[in-house]
Chain A
Amino acid sequence: MPSEDRIAQALEAISDTKDFFVSSVAMSAEEVRGVLERERGVNENPQVRLAHELGPFAAGRIDLERLAPVIGVNETLGEETRRKIQSAFEALMDLKKAGDEIFTAKVPLDGYLRGTVFAALGRVGVAFGAARSVEWALHDIAPPEGVEDALERFPPNLWNRAERGCSPPIVIEVEGQDLRAASLGELLEGSQKIVLVVNGPAAPAPLVRLITPGVTVIQTDDPTQLSALAASPGPGVAALMPEGAAKFTHVPGEGKGLNERLNVEYLPEKEPKRALGAISAFQQVEELRQLASMTASVEAMATMEVESGSGAPPMDEAGQLASWLIHQANFTGV
């Protein structure tokens, strides 16, 4: 299948998440427009602004001349503040109008996957940068260290927890030889969804290194399987692989035990013997063996379940405490 078609399928699979992000951008743009409109209104007449804010229900019922001074409708924005807010508004409107292309990127041949993803997220993350710029401008706060131009790029390392919670999904086209998936680990936070459309020869199980209890990981050649990624509330990554690669899904919502979360549909028997670009044969074999080992564990656990009639071995109190501490420490990306 041509890569364009697979990109379209990937975008379709994450359309809900994408639409949610775009609607948030649209809402933010409207809020910022409201700030600008209000300022225009208040310059003309504070009561006019108040009348607009209260809406028609208040018309004829509330005396605006009395109310305006009580709740302090007198502040106006300075010229510089207004200019900054206007720029942020335009950035949001540009994002709102932009099509699917802002959610896609291509890794150049021999390029760096993480760098491409980081840059793409920085581009679409301008939505967060613009919203923050409005706050900084309104309250005369200097942008924090590390922010050069929040309306040009606002990469994920600057996002706060709430922003990571509604992070934009991204579809990345990448050659198999450049698919060094482990580098994406630190980006898989909040609700970040990454779909990789892989072209050309690829390692058999490159995504296996990303399997951790809270992250959805899907490696498949069937676009319909991407729906599990979209349905997952947490972070996730999926790769649409060329034929011959391993096929598996790791969905945290399916259960606590690895045997519940991991479903290996196809495991290649033949181990790679040749390097693929900078990815050594040893590394490829290592990944494949890791998946095979996980598969064996899953099968063993399933057998135990049948024999004992129970699921994953129950965790004792010390285990639960350790698990909680690890979760609290948030080692993601370390």
Chain B
Amino acid sequence: METKLPIVGADASGGKGSPKGRQITQAKMSTVEIVSDPGEGAQKCAQIFGAISAKMGNGVWTVEIIPAEIQPPPRLPAGASGNRIRIGSVPVTNWGDRSKVVVALNDQVLLARHRLDALEDDAIVLIENMWKDHTDEDIRQQWVDAMEEVSDRNYRIIEIPMEEECLKIVDNPRRGKNMWVLGLLCYLYDRDLELAAAQIADTFRKKAQEITDRNVELLNAGFSWAAENLGFGFEVRPIGDDRPHVVMNGNEALAMGAVASGMDLAAMYPITPATSVSHHLGEEFLKFGGLLHQAEDEIAAAGVAIGASWSGKCAFTITSGPGLALKTEFIGLAIMTEIPLVVVDVQRGGPSTGLPTKVEQSDLLAALYGQPGDAPRVVIAPATIEECFYSMITARKIAEAFRTVVMVLSDANLATGVSPFPRPELDPSWVAAPPDLSPIPEGLRPYDWDPQTGLSRRFIPGSPGGMHTLTGLAHDEGSKVAYDSEINQRASAMRSRKLAVFQSTLKPPSVNGPEEGDMLVVGWGSTKGAIEEAVEEAREEGLSVSNLHLTFLSPLEPGLKEIFSRFKKVVTIEINYSDEPDDPYITPENRRLGQLAWLLRAHILVDVDCWTRVLGEPLRPGAILNAIREKMPEGGVS
């Protein structure tokens, strides 16, 4: 079957042997994707490309494209695996809307991206051409069908003989094509080849030298082929920030933050997408005197962390939604016994096992209220990869100062996204002083709450005069089991009071944009970059809109009612589920809202609207912009 396809062979528009006649497109931002079947190394290729772009001074944000299955069958759209990399001559805070360039290692993974509307209408598609003439007739037909399907867009499709070229160097191109593609991309984006080679060497540092050599050879071959055959390229200038930077993903930043804060113990059980926090800790924690413990299950991990903290160590546990559910009882114990604990929840799609590899912000209410009984705790949400690092230091301090549980809500977007940020200057003060083991003054009890603040001295086992029984049962000031009707009321009040006291020390959040107007967009967590980009674009269109991003979700930051009162409409933007107002059976009375919207309405008594999506991917600025346009109150255009 023949179809009219927008396919060209190796591009000749710049003339063979360019770069002389090479067409260079200058771009403030450019987004490129590399997609393949799992196991072909597209992610490694993209990670290296992102890292060298960051090292060359570009703003970078990468997002992993991960199939829901660990090892799906090959050549399936659902199995597309790879990475989107957005690089800029300004800081990049989100993954953008659609990609300008895509390198696809087969036609089916290209289809996956096409169907998700992930590519610009005039995207440049660089596709492996071996499938077109494959010996298997079904595969040849799939190629034809795929090209037919994508022909509704104006893609510029360039067939690349990746397999053929890689076979000149390796016997199995499946293990090497990614580095050849890296070379090709280095040519297109004018990346420093020496830097790329160094990054490859670092990536494969634990393997034999010949592995590195072979990969560098593939890199150079890809670059040379592109120089011979592709007559175009992109110029994305560096930001011009001379400060030394580090490049890492959010999970690595959480791990490094834990190390920098002097945490003593991390207890966890593997769970996507939180596990890699422990991978990074596994490499570094021990060197700094920390201990990483993989427990037999999520519950045990929480128990180990609480035990360590009770004995005077600073401990945290790492999990994701389903694990958080399992830890519920132990978190209640930490709150009841007032043992400091930091809980990191890297949110994924849910409920149940849900979408393990995909992003959502659906754990907010579970993090706030997911305990039987009254169990107040602090909840904070870093919005950037840099904040993932620093949030751990603050979380530790608050947990210890207030003898409480602090939950750090990250998500799969931050967890796997890679972005550069200024190298932290380590401060010895981040490492807390050794626990106070001085003798307990005569008569002082483990829960002698200050009636004003609810705070009390932390008793560490071994402190002379501090012997007491620890219990999760209702207890009095002396930690003795007590069912006295007054005691539970008093103890509950004291545990709750600590949050009020902490809230009294928070500053009102700042508004990004005019202090008053038609619409205020409110977000939390990893959506910050996309929301700000959309809001700024909306303002450029003349819409009267500002945004505010919350970091402390329990207790809520103060002054929100007053801020909200200055806007005609308040809308939360979130990656969790809410009913559409126009859907069947949905009324204002039964409509289920985004989780932050619920929270704000309950606390602030303001009619907060929401726009939320659970598409298994980060929010796109363009989609948020559309939502802003749709939800603008009457007369919103100024």
Contact = CB atoms under 8 A, between A and B. Distances in A.
Interface of A: 19-20, 23-24, 26-28, 30-31, 33-35, 37-38, 41, 49, 52-58, 60-63, 66-67, 70-71, 134-135, 138-141
Interface in B266-319: 286-290
Contacts of B394: 54-55, 57-58, 62
What are the 5 tightest A-B residue pairs by CB atom distance, in nearest-first order? A27-B289, A139-B438, A52-B429, A55-B393, A57-B390
Interface string B252-276: 0000000001100000000000000
A34 B507 contact: no
B286 A23 contact: yes
B373 interface: no
B401 to A, nearest CB: 4
Contacts of A23: 286-289
Majority SS of interface residues in chain B?
loop
A34 B289 contact: no
Contacts of A35: 433-434
Contacts of B436: 138-139
B552 to A, nearest CB: 7
Interface residues of B, number: 41
A30 to B, nearest CB: 6
Given A63-B507, A135-B437, A139-B436, 12 more contacts: A31-B431, A33-B428, A35-B434, A52-B429, A53-B430, A53-B432, A58-B394, A60-B507, A60-B510, A62-B394, A66-B504, A71-B402
A56 B509 CA distance: 15
A53 B429 contact: yes
B427 A52 contact: yes
Interface in B497-538: 501, 504-507, 509-510
Contacts of A38: 429, 433
Nearest to A32: B434
B422 to A, nearest CB: 10
A259 to B, nearest CB: 30
Interface in B418-459: 427-434, 436-439, 453, 455
Nearest to B289: A27
B289 A70 contact: no
Interface string B392-412: 011001100110000000000
A58 B382 CA distance: 11
B551 A61 contact: yes
B153 to A, nearest CB: 43
B501 A61 contact: no
B464 to A, nearest CB: 8
B357 interface: no
B286 A70 contact: no
B393 A57 contact: yes
Contacts of A53: 397, 429-430, 432
Interface string B46-63: 000000000000000000
Given A34-B428, A57-B387, A138 B288 contact: no
Nearest to B463: A139
B453 to A, nearest CB: 6
A34 B401 contact: no
B544 interface: no
A166 to B, nearest CB: 9
28 contacts: A23-B288, A27-B289, A30-B262, A34-B429, A34-B430, A38-B433, A41-B429, A52-B427, A52-B430, A53-B429, A54-B398, A55-B390, A55-B397, A57-B391, A58-B394, A60-B507, A60-B510, A62-B505, A63-B507, A66-B505, A70-B505, A135-B434, A135-B437, A138-B434, A138-B438, A139-B439, A141-B438, A141-B439
A82 to B, nearest CB: 13
Given A24-B289, A49-B429, A56 B390 contact: yes
B455 A71 contact: yes
Nearest to B435: A135
Contact of A27 (B288, B382, B391, B429): B288
Interface string B538-554: 00000000000001100
A141 B262 CA distance: 25
Contacts of A30: 262, 428, 431
A37 B430 contact: no
A70 B427 contact: no
A253 B351 CA distance: 42
A34 B262 contact: yes
Nearest to B285: A23
B446 to A, nearest CB: 17
A31 B427 contact: no
A49 B557 CA distance: 23
A49 B428 CA distance: 11
A183 to B, nearest CB: 32
A41 B432 CA distance: 14
B506 A63 contact: yes
Contacts of B507: 60-63
A61 B552 contact: yes
Contacts of A24: 289
A34 B433 contact: yes
